[in-house]
Structure 1
């Protein structure tokens, strides 16, 4: 069974609106887009990389703001710090890839390394962080985390900002203030 299929199966076993379900679905999307970038050329490769870039920038920002602090509070401070460090490394690599462009030989040399780093990070979250959250956080709280995750994703930057990775204040500083306030209020009012 592929990682994508496995992620989707595990996600379907959780209640709708559970933050772990949402994250597993996103991990499946990340893995699928990585495969598409690796196996495509020309405009299809460029589009897949653009989609991956946006998904990763939004996903990692939202995790840093809405998920990792909860992990840290519930006994995973070292884990949360390690995950944030991994995310910073991946975002730096993503920014370099974005800078050289998909048509560059450097992109083709670096992307497999980036893909491995992303896969290792995703596996660490799924192996350590998700079980911690499932055992320590009740379903209602995980549902609220999913709402916060979604609200954060609405305002998250869509380009990698390596200098802000791992820092909630710096992540928030990369977003237009009025946009943050309006979008978060709108998202929270709908939840």
Structure 2
């Protein structure tokens, strides 16, 4: 999957729920790609997966979850459950990102991460997104999608557990994102992405 396909800010979907569900499908495809990649190509595929997961979770935390807290009847509980799942997945993703694909337990950890991310996406698609769709207008979902795309362009590209709230993401997200993106450019320039 080319790098441009995993850039949420360039996706065509204009409804926030459709956008996020499409990202979930892309994430599943990237897990497949990483699992099937020959060893010499695995790092590049994993880098794309890390980027999409980090950006996706950040924009949900900044835009979608706060809105869901406001409009869903039991939004606090629904969002708190999703945030707990996100934090666990981000912890493992961060460890894997730091250790790299040559880590002996990489494929085992990837399977654990995939199960956690799949369960999390299923929870969003089952408990949060349908209710969000029911409690919003088409115009509101379009506005949220535009916000998600704009935030995606500025989101960190690596996981940062502990920033699972909109306020924390906004306060520390931009400097972290700038550091992440600079690190990505340096890695790419040094041949780290083949």
Range of TM-score over shorter length: 0.7 to 0.9
CA displacement, residues 106-164 of structure 1 (integer Å, 9 cap, x when unaligned): 21221101110000001111111111111101111000000111111111001111122
Contact 1:100–1:106 under 8 Å retained in 2 = no
1:57 and 2:22 matched: no
SS of the aligned residue for 1:147 comes to helix
Q: CA deviation at 1:16?
A: 4.7
1:152 and 2:151 matched: yes
CA displacement, residues 48-87 of structure 1 (integer Å, 9 cap, x when unaligned): 1100000010010000111011111122210111111111
User: What is the 5 A alignment of 1:67-146?
Assistant: 67-74=64-71, 75=73, 76-146=75-145
In 1: Cα distance, 2:115 partner to 2:34 partner: 13
Q: Please identify, of 166-175 and 71-80, the stretch whose mean Cα deviation from structure 2 is larger.
A: 166-175
Between the two structures, name the one with larger relative contact order (CA 8 Å, sep ≥ 6).
2
Contact 2:51–2:158 under 8 Å retained in 1 = yes
SS of the aligned residue for 1:151 comes to helix
Contact 2:155–2:174 under 8 Å retained in 1 = yes
- Structure 1, gaps ≥5 residues long: 1-14, 180-191
SS of the aligned residue for 1:162 comes to coil
User: What is the 5 A alignment of 1:167-182?
Assistant: 167-172=165-170, 173-176=172-175
Contact 1:18–1:139 under 8 Å retained in 2 = yes
- Structure 2, gaps ≥5 residues long: 1-11, 179-194
Q: Which residue pairs with 1:24 in the alignment? A: 21
- The TM-score normalised by the length of structure 2 is 0.80
Q: Which residue pairs with 2:37 in the alignment? A: 40
- The TM-score normalised by the length of structure 1 is 0.81
